[in-house]
Amino acid sequence: MKKVTGIGGVFFKCENPQNMNEWYAKNLGLVTSNYGTTFEWRQADDPSKEGSTSWCTFPQDTKYFNPSAKPFMINYRVENLVALLDELKKDNVIIVDEIAEYDYGKFVHVLDPEGNIIELWEPKDDAEPDNAAG
Per-residue pLDDT of the chain (134 residues; tens, 9 = 90+): 668 989 999 999 999 999 999 999 999 999 999 889 999 999 888 898 888 999 999 999 999 999 999 999 999 999 999 999 999 999 999 999 999 999 999 999 999 999 999 999 999 864 444 444 54
In the prediction, which pLDDT does 34 show? 85
Contact yes or no for 18/35 (Cβ under 8 A) = no
What is the CATH classification number for the domain harbouring 91? Answer: 3.10.180.10
In the prediction, which pLDDT does 72 show? 96
Does some domain include residue 107?
A: yes
Does some domain include residue 128?
A: no
Does some domain include residue 86?
A: yes
Range of the domain at 19: 4-123
In the prediction, which pLDDT does 36 show? 92
Domain count of the fold of the chain: 1
Does some domain include residue 76?
A: yes
In the prediction, which pLDDT does 57 show? 96
105-111 contacts, C-beta under 8 A, 24 or more apart: 105/129, 105/132, 106/81, 106/82, 107/134, 108/81, 111/67, 111/68
Does some domain include residue 109?
A: yes
Does some domain include residue 17?
A: yes
Distance (Å, rounded) from C-alpha 84 to C-alpha 82?
5
Q: How many residues does the chain have?
A: 134
In the prediction, which pLDDT does 130 show? 45
Does some domain include residue 134?
A: no
Does some domain include residue 77?
A: yes
